[in-house]
């Protein structure tokens, strides 16, 4: 995926959030090590600027990438947590 494709996906997600009222996202990031830096930057820019998202969970295979996601999220003011499984991520997303 390149930046243009990422922007299109982000726009679709944003439109879906706007029309549905959903405020939580789950990303499957198990192949995040293949993400181009400029694509990751576009996603982080959107996550840090959108007012539509309250919580973001991501599923990752790498402890190093998970730690990076946590620290980047804190630095950008994004409530995001990384998990090893979809089940763990869903449990956290829907816990109140």
CA 43, CA 96: separation in Å to the nearest integer?
A: 26
Half-sphere exposure of 93 (CA within 13 A, CB side): 20
Q: What is the spatial distance between Cα 92 and Cα 41, in angstroms, rounded to a whole number?
A: 25
pLDDT tens digits, 6-57: 999 999 999 999 999 999 999 999 987 788 999 999 999 999 999 999 999 9
CATH classification of the domain holding 10: 3.40.50
pLDDT in tens, 78-95: 999 999 999 999 999 998
Domain that holds residue 75: 3-93
Query: What total of structural domains would you count in the chain?
Result: 1
């Amino acid at each position: 995926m390149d930046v243009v494709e990422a922007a299109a996906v982000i726009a679709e997600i944003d439109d879906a959030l706007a029309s549905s009222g959903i405020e939580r996202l789950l990303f499957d990031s198990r192949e995040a090590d293949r993400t181009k830096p400029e694509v990751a930057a576009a996603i982080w820019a959107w996550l840090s600027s959108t007012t539509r998202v309250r919580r973001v969970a991501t599923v990752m295979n790498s402890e190093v990438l998970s730690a990076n996601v946590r620290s980047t999220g804190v630095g950008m003011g994004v409530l995001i947590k990384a998990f090893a499984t979809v089940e763990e991520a869903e449990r956290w997303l829907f816990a109140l």
